[in-house]
Amino acid sequence: MAEAKSEKSPFIGRQQAPVTLNPSWESKLPAHEANGKGSQSAIGQLGLPAPKDKYLIVFFIFLLHGVGTLMPWNMFITAKSYFEDFKFGVNNTVATETSYRTHFMQNMGFASQVPNLIFNWLNIFVAFGGDLTSRIVYSIIFEMVILLVTIVLAMVDSSQWPGVFFWTTMGCIVLLNVCNGIYQNTIYGIVASLPIKYTGAVVLGSNISGCFTSIMSLVCGEIFDSKRTSAIYYFVTAILVLLLCFDTYFALPLNKFFRHYETISRNSEKKSDSKQQLNVPYWQIFKKASPQLFNIFLTFFVTLSVFPAIQSNIHRSDPEFLIGEKNFTLFTCFLTFNIFAMLGSLTTSWAKWPGPRFLWLPVVARLVFIPLFVFCNYVPPDKVRTAPIYIDNDWVYWGIGILMAYSSGYLSSLGMMYAPQTVHAKYQSTAGMYAAAMLITGIFSGVLFSYLGPSFVI
């Protein structure tokens, strides 16, 4: 397919189109609007105001992509009861020597984050699938195909072959997160060239994603008695969200606001010498951004150390507590985390404190959440807790969960916003990719640490 051709401006020399569209219908725009790169670059050079993001269209597109980057993962972890109680429940499957329930959440986290980690880091240095457009488009398509396979697995009766179902599910999770690693990393790389609040939009979207899936789980649980039917609706919803992400991505190059900042980013690169493009100072970029990369890593490490593997196995201590046993975990763990992480992320739209220099202080202080959750009524599946319970008040536990979730959303958003601002404009995309890779590294390390959860109480 033909690529969209760039115009020449009287102010600057030849420029490349910020995003190559397939199919290349961008070239059919009227002459005076064709990409608008000449006029937008002129605006930048003359110091005139940049175009406005009318109706916040670009903001909401990146917010939607934030939802899309974590939607498949959130659908899987929210379907905890479907996997542990229905597919691997003792009454729903044949007896096996291996207990697939005990460490299912940790195994799912491990299977998802290993490929996500590897391909997030590789995507910084290797152009998987070609240009940025190809990486996003192909990643989304493959994710939808894998989710269709997951829906088929939900429809079939796997009670006679739980081992096959387990490893097939893990295989789907691995492949899904290979694609998602590339998709997520590329989105953060693209948005890094825009004003800081647009990186916040992606982070906010990722937190909204979890909130949305928790509400979906609650609604489906009330409407359908069958966990299988609920799970099917979870995964169909994820496909629909990815379809929206696919469609809206192609609207970005038609937006003057997005083209303006994309053009500025490209003009800051040395395009005259292709060899110089290959000599990106990756180590220098990493060093300059390292304080914020550390903040991003530790924030997600603490969060994933306790959520969802430990927190989802904290049981109600008071039989008379406001929330019944059936929905206790859904409300106090998944719904609480996702709502307050979303609110924390949203808060950064109005307040950005502390600044980059002192952000590490509250980030390090969050380490206290790990022992606090273990002190609650945490009982791993199919295990008997022998350690004493120091926090047996459900309200106190819920308050700790709210603080952990809110601080996770707030501090992670600040770190993701600050990281690209620590380097020169022409390296902001690379710094944004580093930030996304450290996000996944923190998640992966936290998931590994969560395997130690049962050993703390047995």
pTM of the model as a whole: 0.68
Confirm if 457 and 385 have CB atoms less than 8 A apart.
yes
pLDDT < 70 positions in the chain? 1-48, 90-99, 127-131, 268-278
Residue 355: per-residue pLDDT: 92
Give the closest residue to 349 by CA, choosing from 203, 237, 231, 241: 203
Distance of alpha carbon 59 from alpha carbon 201, whole angstroms = 6
At residue 268's C-alpha, the angle toward residues 267 and 270, to 5°, is 90
Residue type, 279: N
Map out the domains of the chain with their CATH numbers: 54-267+284-457 (1.20.1250.20)
Residue 181: per-residue pLDDT: 79
Sign of the four-CA dihedral 305, 309, 312, 315: negative
Residue type, 449: F
Confirm if 430 and 213 have CB atoms less than 8 A apart.
no
446 phi/psi in degrees, rounded to 5: -65, -40
Which residues make beta-bridge pairs with 378?
314
Residue 354 preceded by cis peptide, ω within 30: yes
356 burial class (0-12, 13-18, 19+ CB within 10 angstroms)? middle
> How many Cα atoms sit within 13 Å of 187 on the Cβ side?
35
Residue with tokens 């937008």: 40
Tell me how far the alpha carbon of residue 247 is from its chain's centroid.
19
221 phi/psi in degrees, rounded to 5: -65, -30
Which residues make beta-bridge pairs with 182?
none
Counts of helices then strands in the chain (DSSP H, E): 18, 0
Residue 47: per-residue pLDDT: 54
User: Is 205 strand, coil or helix?
Assistant: helix
CA distances from 13 to 8, 19, 38, 42, 376 (A): 6, 18, 9, 11, 64
Confirm if 194 and 18 have CB atoms less than 8 A apart.
no
Residue 97: per-residue pLDDT: 59
279 burial class (0-12, 13-18, 19+ CB within 10 angstroms)? exposed
Confirm if 15 and 41 have CB atoms less than 8 A apart.
yes
Give the closest residue to 134 by CA, choosing from 19, 262, 248: 19
Distance of alpha carbon 86 from alpha carbon 83, whole angstroms = 6
Per residue in 248-295, pLDDT (tens digit) is 888 888 888 888 887 777 776 545 344 444 577 888 999 999 999 999
> How many Cα atoms sit within 13 Å of 213 on the Cβ side?
31
User: Is 402 strand, coil or helix?
Assistant: helix
Residue 285, C-beta contacts closer than 8 angstroms, at least 6 positions apart: 423, 427, 430, 431, 434
Residue 17: per-residue pLDDT: 40
Per residue in 112-163, pLDDT (tens digit) is 778 878 877 887 777 655 567 778 888 899 999 999 999 998 888 887 888 8
Q: What is the DSSP letter of 91?
A: T
CA distances from 62 to 148, 184, 391, 432 (A): 25, 11, 40, 14
User: Is 314 strand, coil or helix?
Assistant: strand
CA distances from 430 to 62, 154, 326, 433 (A): 18, 39, 45, 5
Max Cα-Cα span within the chain? 76
16 burial class (0-12, 13-18, 19+ CB within 10 angstroms)? middle
